[in-house]
Amino acid sequence: MHIGSFDTERAVSPVIGVILMVAITVLLAATAAVFFTGFQDETRQGPPSTAFSIEYDANAETIGGSPSDVVTISHQSGDTLTAGDLRVDISGTAVDGQYDYESFTTSDGTPVGEESQISASDEIEIGAGDFSGASTVDFSNAEVTVIYTGGSGTQEINSEDFS
């Protein structure tokens, strides 16, 4: 019986080597894909999902004996927001302008700070007392808009036209 030398039977080793190299390459590619996809999700945060209501109440407050209208902005549902990321635009009144959300007070009179968290059921009331030199404000022809200014741009959350 003649037993051949092992020098000529090398076919198994190269096949296993190629399979291992392909497996390692696929594993590295999958790891890199998961890594970079994770970064992409963090950088593409969209605007918040939230709902605000804006209500108008004629002659709801009295300042110095003069009746004044009040607009109430309520956070109805959705994400909690930072007051510094919100702006209120008012047009059609004597107090037209863009106002930072934190420049107002809550319905119980507490000042809203820039870092205050605004969550569902929080509300602010805007009236003559919120504007220096105004003894009365007529919101009957006003348009009031709540705008989100955080993140990568601005987005209108809600707008009401009372005219």
- Reported confidence tier of residue 16, pLDDT bands at 50, 70, 90: confident
**pLDDT at residue 48, rounded to an integer:** 82
Domain layout of the chain by residue ranges:
6-43, 50-161
Output 50 or 103, whichever has higher pLDDT. Answer: 50
- Residue range 50-161 forms a domain whose CATH class is mainly beta
- Mean pLDDT, residues 145-163: 87
pTM of the model: 0.66
- Mean pLDDT, residues 66-88: 87
DSSP string, 81-149: EEGGGEEEEEESSTT-EEEEGGGSEETTSPBPPTT-EE-TT-EEEE-GGGSTT-S----TT-EEEEEE-
pLDDT tens digits, residue range 58-68?
877 666 666 77
